[in-house]
Structure 1
Amino acid sequence: MHALTLPLPSGDTWTRADYEALPEDLPVRLSLVHGELVVNPRPRPIRQRIARRLAARIEDAAPDAWQVDTDVDVLLDDDELEPVEIAPDIVVYSADHDVYQRPIPADLITLVVEVVSPSTKRKDRRIQPALYAEAQIRHYWRVETDQTAPAFAVYTYELDDATGGYVATGVHHDRITATLPFDLDIDLKAVHER
């Protein structure tokens, strides 16, 4: 196994240019949070499977105005000194965005979904929702697996314009039926059963 060597940032913190210059084929997931490079291991297969299956069902229901992808870079804050660019597990964004371009700007995104695993509980439950809300992404879903909670469930949230934070809109165990961001009716058993 080879050691992972990353270039150093151009200054005291990582800029978007530094981050964008990193190779795409790294064996770890990287995020840029307030100018700090955050390194995470690649997800476990079960987490990837749940994300892939859920994304496919969301994509099947999505109107032509939306496209759905997994593990793609999203620009939450373009601040010169403390940029925020991360890759949610699932992203639903405007069909107007060119799929050959990265990152996807937050103002083109209607929904982000995070699948929680034992190593990402704190990040997916607290840190990332706050970043998504600050970027004004309208909908956030958190998928709790049987590894992280007593039962598989999808927790849905919508941005509250008055507070700027997310408010809970439901907890779904066997089926998710929603009208926002568009009409959805998903059998969750098919998403999480092995």
Structure 2
Amino acid sequence: MTNSELPDWLIPPPEGFHAEDLDHLPDLPAHTELIDGSLVLVSPQKDFHTLMLSLLENGLRRTAPGDLRVRREMSVILGPRQRPEPDVIVFHATALRGPDVTAYRAEDLVLAVEVVSPESEERDRKRKPSLYAEAGIPHFWLVESSEGRPTVNVYELDPATRSYVLSSSHHDRVRLTAPFDIDIDLTEIDRL
């Protein structure tokens, strides 16, 4: 393959990519994220990851009040060079802008969820939570797997430091009152 046959997005511009570029790069692989101006290509998901996304999406949608919406694998514009794709988001219904929307804005979100994958552990555990906190997203969940069993670590934003503080960990059931009344039976993963 010659350089003329390579896709344009394979060679980044000198200043890096910008959030809006993701909507205009042809043939970009699905679920490509933008972290610090660099494109991040996502590996195929493992079964645990897919099952957790379904379980959390359904549980959050079932319990979310009417003024909130839940989406899976939608990118979020955090800044000019930051457009990650959380696994699940909960956002204000007022942010709905029609069926062609490709990203939401950080200020629209009340919760971002990441399910840790082996190939993205560093990003899921460190970089992305830091970016979400700096952007002011009030709640963040980090989901880990231990021998196929989920642990949901719940974090809340400390507005003074713009960083997350662990508020609780859940193994069999997520029962919370913030950001709204949530009750998700994590053992349902065995029935999916």
The residue that corresponds to 2:188 in the other structure is 190
After the TM superposition, which residues 99-110 of structure 1 pair with which residues of structure 2 at under 5 Å, given as runs?
Answer: 99-100=98-99, 101-110=101-110
After the TM superposition, which residues 159-178 of structure 1 pair with which residues of structure 2 at under 5 Å, given as runs?
Answer: 159-178=157-176
Select 2:23's aligned residue among 20, 25, 28: 20
Q: C-alpha displacement at 1:147, in angstroms?
A: 4.9
Which segment is superposed worse, 35-44 or 64-73?
35-44
Counterpart amino acid of residue 39 in structure 1: L
The residue that corresponds to 1:146 in the other structure is 146
CA distance in 2 between counterparts of 1:141 and 1:57 reads 14
Which segment is superposed worse, 61-70 or 17-26?
17-26
Q: C-alpha displacement at 1:25, in angstroms?
A: 7.0
Cα root mean square deviation, aligned? 2.2
Q: C-alpha displacement at 1:42, in angstroms?
A: 2.7
Q: Which runs of 5+ in 1 are unaligned?
A: none
User: Aligned pair 1:125/2:125, yes or no?
Assistant: yes
Higher fraction of helix: 2
Runs of 4+ in 1 over 6 A off after TM superposition: none
Report the 3-state secondary structure (helix = DSSP H, G, I; strand = E; otherwise coil) of the residue aligned with 1:113: strand
Q: C-alpha displacement at 1:44, in angstroms?
A: 1.8
CA distance in 1 between counterparts of 2:26 and 2:48 reads 26
The residue that corresponds to 2:40 in the other structure is 38
CA distance in 1 between counterparts of 2:112 and 2:52 reads 14
CA offset digits 1:74-116 (Å, max 9, x no partner)? 11113xxxx1001110010111122521210000000011111
The residue that corresponds to 1:54 in the other structure is 56
CA offset digits 1:150-176 (Å, max 9, x no partner)? x52100000001211000110101111
Is contact 1:29–1:42 with CA below 8 Å preserved after alignment? Answer: no
CA distance in 1 between counterparts of 2:98 and 2:28 reads 18
The residue that corresponds to 2:7 in the other structure is 6
Counterpart amino acid of residue 58 in structure 2: A
Is contact 2:18–2:82 with CA below 8 Å preserved after alignment? Answer: no
Q: C-alpha displacement at 1:192, in angstroms?
A: 5.5
Q: C-alpha displacement at 1:6, in angstroms?
A: 3.0
Q: Which runs of 5+ in 2 are unaligned?
A: none
Aligned residues: 184
Select 1:158's aligned residue among 144, 156, 159: 156
